[in-house]
Amino acid sequence: MTINEFNFAGKKAIVRVDFNVPLDENGKITDDTRIRGALPTLKKILNEGGALIIMSHMGKPKGKVNMKFSLGQIVDAVSAALGVPVQFAPDCAKAKEQADALKAGEVLLLENLRFYPEEEGKPVGIDKEDPAYKQAKADMKASQKEFAKTLASYADCYVMDAFGTAHREHASTAVIDQFFSADNRMLGLLMEKEVNAVDAVLGNIKRPFVAIMGGSKVSTKIGIIENLLGKVDKLILCGGMTYTFAKAHGGEIGDSIVEMDKLDVALGVEELAKKNGVELVMADDCTATNGLDFGTMSVKDGAEIITCPSDKVPAGFEGVDAGPDAQKAFAEAIKGAKTILWNGPAGVFECDAFTAGSRAIGDAIAEATANGAFSLIGGGDSVACVNKFGLADKVSYISTGGGALLEAIEGKVLPGVAAIEA
């Protein structure tokens, strides 16, 4: 069942969204992208004469009430976005009366799901090494099921539209579905777009397929890299992980970030690429400095900025961006691609002095997209790059899911998707 096949007239729909939006010190939303992303699904339900119950998490309250993460702070913003008044349930586990009273066209927003430990299903206050942990975990799983049952009792149908949490086996994402029949549970419009985008990159590949993996550590991306090496034609590895690869070959990397315990992993990636006939593209040169202030993301007064080989970074300097030669190599590798995946920047793009590498990648992707490529941008930093450079409307799709997208790319089954399709 898809949301487009379902008639919401006279129905109450409970929808799992990802309204984990950033707030400033006054509780005001600083980026409403996630709210805007859910609007097509939410408005469709209302426009068809349905009543709407919205549930989400915010932050990491770890199973305890923390008003810093209360969804009550965003009621006005959600009301403005939907164009209708939004009611608020201050206790998501005791909202039955409010839910029952909802009429067609009305909206109820539940309080933060993660104020309850049952949402995540993890025992609180007991160490995994404790002999009692196993029983505590079993008890919590039973409680999680009851919590999901309570949430399900509020509605006639369930819509999963939170791709950002689809990789979590939480009550609201992968347990609640069992309390709805197959024709009363479905993916929302945003989820469908996300799933289709991942399929376009990994399942329905148009070649050449080029993936760009950036970021600081090889260790956090190794599963993804290994899975991609069985699919891509070219793989660009950039960002901080550049220096782990350089060090693995005996290079001098100054004060650049490095994972000394992953040198063998880096060499293994190179061997696997060679075995699979994948062209591995890495930065031969870099921009380095001896004065980056990570607190303010600025270059300290009197600091030097140099260009040097990535394996010959002077002592006291650290590589912070791809160099001019690397930028050209990245752009050339992307040119002519028909499928593109970008996750992770080429440098410390947050500092305006070190945006050139990431900008070169972004511009090349935009050009390839204009020439017919399908481009998927995922991961917070990559999305921030695209937005910073004004390229959001020049790529095919920007994913709302960080960890979920990475796990999908890694080839893992997403519980939030599997539960709907079961």
Helices (H), 33-188: 33-47, 75-82, 96-100, 117-120, 133-152
Q: Which of 386, 401, 381 is nearest to 20 (CA)?
A: 401
- Between CA 169 and CA 176 the distance in angstroms is 10
Helix, strand, coil percentages, rounded to 5, for the chain: 45, 20, 40
CA–CA dist 375, 196 (Å, integer): 12
Indicate the residue type of 270: E
34 is catalytic: yes
274 is a catalytic site residue: no
Q: Cβ neighbours of residue 72 under 8 Å, at least 6 residues apart?
A: 88, 90, 111
Relative to beta strand 298-299, strand 292-293 is antiparallel
CA distance 395 to 6: 31
Contact in structure between 223 and 402 (CB atoms under 8 Å) = no
Catalytic residue list contains 203: no
Which two structure tokens, joined as six digits, stand for 144? 């999680």
Among 11, 12, 16, 34, the one annotated catalytic: 34
Helix pair 75-82, 33-47: axis angle to 10 deg:
50
Active-site choice (10, 316, 336, 380)? 380
Rounded distance between C-alpha atoms, residue 163 and residue 68, angstroms: 24
Give the count of beta carbons closer than 10 Å to the beta carbon of residue 185.
22
| Partners of residue 109 on adjacent β-strands | 54, 88
Question: CA 324 to CA 421: how far, in whole Å?
Answer: 47
Known catalytic residue at 44: no
Contact criterion met (CB below 8 Å) for 12 and 6 = no
Catalytic residue among 49, 72, 223, 403: 403
Could you give phi then psi for residue 152, rounded to 5 degrees?
Answer: -65, -30
Helix (H) or strand (E) holding 196: helix 189-202
Residue with tokens 């994913």: 399
Give how far Cα 372 sits from Cα of 130, 182, 383, 393, Å: 56, 37, 21, 14
CA–CA separation, 313 vs 289, rounded Å?
9
Q: Which of 43, 141, 217, 312 is catalytic?
A: 217
What's the rounded Cα separation, in Å, for the pair 50 and 182?
19
List, by residue number, the catalytic residues: 34, 217, 380, 403
